[in-house]
Amino acid sequence: MQLLTVFFAATATSLWLSVFGYYGLLWLLARTASTRRSRRGEAKLARELPPIAIVVPTLNEQGYIQAKIADIQRTDYPAELVQIVVVDGNSTDQTAEIVRALQPTEQRLQLLSARKARRKQHQVIHALSMLKHDYLVFTDADSTLEPDCVRQLITLLQDEPETGIAAAHVVPETGLLEERVHWLLMNALWRLEGEVMSATGFSGVCYAVRRTAVEQLKHAALTEDIYLACVANARGNRVRMCPTALAHELRVPQRWQELIGFRHRRGAGYVYELLRALVGRPKAHWGLARGMRLLHLVVLPRAAVALATLGLVLAAVGRWKLPSAALAIYGFSTLGLVLLPSLRLVRDHGRIRVLVASIRYLVLAIASLLTLRWRQSKAQIPLGGTGHGTVGYSADIEGARGPGNQ
C-alpha cells in the first residue's frame, strides 16, 4: 500500500506539472519577454496598411452570409484596401444567389466557386490559388468581428515579420459556461505559446495569414486551422494570437451533449494534424510545444483516469487524506487557471459556479479525448516531409487551380 501511495503522489505531481505547471511556466516566460522588450524600448512602427482580401468560406450558409458581409462592411480597415471574397464549396441552398444579389451594391464583393471542395481547407487553398494579395484574412460565416479585429491582425503581421499567422481571440456566444471556460483556456494557452514559442494551433473563426507562410498547401487535412499552424511552423514562421482582436462565434454548443461531441471531433482533428507534423525545418521550440499538446491530448486523459482510480482505492482503504489534498489542489489550480485569463467570468457568475463548470468541463473533455482512435489514425497517416518546407501529405490539390466564378 505504501508503494501505491507513492505512485499516486508521483502521478498527481506529474499531471499537475504538465498542465498547471506548463501554463505557469509559459506565463512567467511571456512576462519576462514582455519586460525585456519594454526595457529595450521596442516600439511598433507606424506602417501604411496593405491591400487585403477578406475571405469567407461557405457551404450552405444562406442563414448567415448576408449578415456576414454586412459584418465585414463594418470593419474599420480602409474600405478601398479591402476585397471581400466568398468562396462557395458547392452549396445546395441559396448562398451563392444571395452573394450575387449583393454584388451590384457592393463592388468589392467577389464570388469564387470551389466545385471540388470537400472540406473548408479546400476553399482556403482555392482562395490562395486565385487571389494574389500578400495578406489574407479568413473568417467564418457564422461569426461577427469587432470593428478593429481585421486591422489588429494585419498590424500584428506587419510588426512581426517572423509571424506567418495571426489569429483572433474567440468569444463564444453561448450560455453554456463550460464552453466559455474552454475558450478562455484555449485562448490563453495559444496566446502564451505564441508569445514564448509559437502556438500549436488557433481557431479558424478569424485569422490573417502572410501568403509566404502558407503557400503550397495540400488537401489531406481534417482540421484546416491546426493544419495551417503546422505548415507555418514547419517553415519557421511563428503563429500568434492577437489578444486585442476579438471574433464572436455564433454557432457553438449550447448544451453539454453538444459540447462533448464537438470537442471529440475537434480533438481528433487536432491529434491527427499534430501526429503528422514532422515536416520541413521547424524551430526547436515549436517541437516542444507540439510535444506538450500531444501529451495533453493523448497521454493525460488516460493518466487522469488512472489517478482517479488510484485515489478511490486509497480512499476505500482509509488513506483518504492524500486523495483529498490532491483534489483540493487541483480544484484551486483549476479556478486559478480560469482566473488568469479572465476575472470577468468570475464576476459575472461567481467563483463557485465557475469552479464547478471548470471541473465539469475538464471531466467532459477527458471523456471525449479518451475515445479518440489516435493509434489507428497514426498508422494511417504518412509522416515526414519533402525537406523543402512543404507538407508531405499523400493527397494533392484538387480543383484549386480551376477558374473561379464571379
**Count of structural domains, the chain:** 2
- Decide which of 283, 311, 344 is a domain's last residue: 283
The per-residue b/e assignment along 325-355, b for 16 or more CB within 10 angstroms, e otherwise, is ebbeebeebbbebbeebbeebbeeeeeeebb
**172 and 219 co-located in one domain:** yes
**300 and 241 co-located in one domain:** no
CATH number of the domain within which 113 lies:
3.90.550.10
pLDDT of residue 38: 65
Rounded to 5 degrees, φ, ψ at 157 are: -65, -40
Residue that has been written with the C-alpha cell 456576414 in this structure = 68
From first to last of its 406 residues, what are the pLDDT tens digits of the chain?
A: 788 889 999 999 999 999 999 999 998 998 887 777 666 555 556 679 999 999 999 999 999 999 999 999 999 999 999 999 999 988 999 999 999 999 999 999 999 998 777 778 888 888 988 999 999 999 999 999 999 999 999 999 999 999 999 999 999 999 898 898 889 889 989 999 999 989 989 999 999 999 988 876 666 667 888 888 888 888 889 999 999 999 999 998 888 888 888 877 788 778 888 877 655 555 667 778 888 888 988 899 899 999 999 999 998 888 888 989 998 998 888 777 776 666 667 677 777 888 788 888 888 888 888 877 654 444 444 433 322 233 322 222 222 222 233 3
Are 358 and 334 spatial neighbours (Cβ–Cβ below 8 Å)?
yes
**360 and 275 co-located in one domain:** no
**277 and 305 co-located in one domain:** no
C-alpha cell, 152? 489588429
**260 and 328 co-located in one domain:** no
pLDDT of residue 17: 94
- In angstroms, rounded to a whole number, what is the distance separating the alpha carbons of residues 176 and 253? 7
Backbone CA torsion sign across 397, 225, 240, 125: positive
Query: Which secondary structure element, helix H or strand E, spans residue 132, and what is its range?
Result: none
Helix-strand-coil split of the chain, %, nearest 5: 55, 15, 30
pLDDT of residue 402: 29
Residue type, 383: L
Asked whether residue 333 is assigned to any structural domain, the reply reads yes
pLDDT of residue 31: 86
Query: Which secondary structure element, helix H or strand E, spans residue 103, and what is its range?
Result: none
* Residue 171 CA, distance from chain mean position: 12
Rounded to 5 degrees, φ, ψ at 164 are: -100, -25
pLDDT of residue 348: 72
- In angstroms, rounded to a whole number, what is the distance separating the alpha carbons of residues 202 and 183? 11
**105 and 130 co-located in one domain:** yes
Domain ranges, residue 356 = 2-22+290-380
**330 and 221 co-located in one domain:** no
**Cβ neighbours, 10 Å, residue 215:** 15
Catalogue the E-assigned strands of 140-218.
Answer: 143-145, 163-172, 206-210
Backbone CA torsion sign across 257, 263, 264, 266: positive
**254 and 305 co-located in one domain:** no
Backbone CA torsion sign across 149, 170, 56, 74: negative
Spatial CA neighbour of 135 closest among 69, 21, 24, 54: 54
Asked whether residue 205 is assigned to any structural domain, the reply reads yes
**60 and 120 co-located in one domain:** yes
pLDDT of residue 398: 27
Residues 6+ apart with CB under 8 A from 171: 183, 246, 247, 248, 249
Quote the DSSP letter at residue 385.
B
Asked whether residue 31 is assigned to any structural domain, the reply reads no
pLDDT of residue 45: 62
pLDDT of residue 37: 63
Residue 156 burial (C-beta neighbours within 10 Å; 0-12, 13-18, 19+): buried
**316 and 345 co-located in one domain:** yes
Asked whether residue 402 is assigned to any structural domain, the reply reads no
- In angstroms, rounded to a whole number, what is the distance separating the alpha carbons of residues 310 and 227? 37
pLDDT of residue 350: 76
**306 and 259 co-located in one domain:** no
Q: Which residues pair with 239 in a beta bridge?
A: 165
**275 and 175 co-located in one domain:** yes
- In angstroms, rounded to a whole number, what is the distance separating the alpha carbons of residues 203 and 229? 10
Asked whether residue 214 is assigned to any structural domain, the reply reads yes
Are 211 and 128 spatial neighbours (Cβ–Cβ below 8 Å)?
yes
Asked whether residue 138 is assigned to any structural domain, the reply reads yes
Torsion of CA 333, 338, 340, 345, to 10 degrees: -140
pLDDT of residue 357: 85
Quote the DSSP letter at residue 297.
I
pLDDT of residue 39: 61
- Residue-by-residue DSSP string for 306-341: HHHHHHHHHHHTT--HHHHHHHHHHHHHHHHHHHTT
